[in-house]
Amino acid sequence: PCVDPIHYDIGKSGVGPGKAFAEALAESDPSITVGVVPTAVGGTPLQAWVPGGVGKHNWHPYDDMVSRTKKALEKGTLAAILWHQGESDCMRRGGYLYQVRFPVMVERFRKDVGAEGVPLIVGGLHPTKCGGWFGNIIRKSQTATCEHLFGPGQYVAAKEWPLQPDNIHYTREAQQEFAKMYFAAYQDVVKKLAADKDYWKTPVPKDLAAYEIPAEQMDQVPAELTKSIEDYAFPKGRPAFKPKAK
């Protein structure tokens, strides 16, 4: 049986929303057996979630996520994708680029494992500890990606729940509450898909528009992006790369 903590990436993994979400899904339909595919790697910025990327403790976040998912698909179907990450990107070096890196990662993962049409539920970061300018950028890019660019999906805003002693991650009780919100969002997406499988294919709203990426960071943007990501990240065209003056 699935027991917390379901992750084993850094030796001191805490409780996430995965197990409680799976239990809610199983309870909603007694005819199914629910499996959980843990793929989180604590403390890794999104920059590490690329093919060949390396995270903490020499884990390979993206490659491991793909291989484990494919292995699980040998005996089942993918019901949902849960994502909760971003604390390491709430700063200048990762915040602006998140607007490109996140949709690129989601688009790639969906294609690599055949997960087009699978609900993607993205949980937000702590509104105070990871709020502010860059927290808002991450929130907008996550919402735009899962609800419009590469849906179907839904963004779930976090609350001012208690934190663990590290003052970053939520307590076990808070994660369980978060899981209930994840599941409610999942049910909402499933309901919308039943009515219209393409419901999410709508333009990104103006209030989720991307922020301009600084010119000195443009060398970290892939030379080629799919049109939907290019139009989202650079609605006025790409700025030229300009090294930051010392």
Q: What is the pLDDT of residues 159-201, one digit of tens each?
A: 999 888 878 778 889 999 999 999 999 999 999 999 999 999 9
CB 108 within 8 A of CB 63: no
pTM, to two decimals = 0.93
Q: How long a stretch of residues is the chain?
A: 246
In this prediction, residue 40 carries a pLDDT of: 87
Kindly compute the dihedral angle of the four CA atoms of residues 71, 72, 75, 77, in this order, to the nearest 10 degrees.
-130
* Tokens describing residue 121: 């539920």
Q: In what order do the strands lie in the sheet with 153-156?
A: 81-83, 120-123, 153-156
Structural element, H or E, at residue 192: helix 172-195
**Residue 42 pLDDT class (50, 70, 90 cuts):** confident
* Tokens describing residue 147: 């609800």
Burial of 74 (C-beta count, 10 Å sphere; 0-12/13-18/19+): exposed
Q: What is the pLDDT of residues 98-135, one digit of tens each?
A: 999 999 999 999 999 999 999 999 999 999 888 899 99
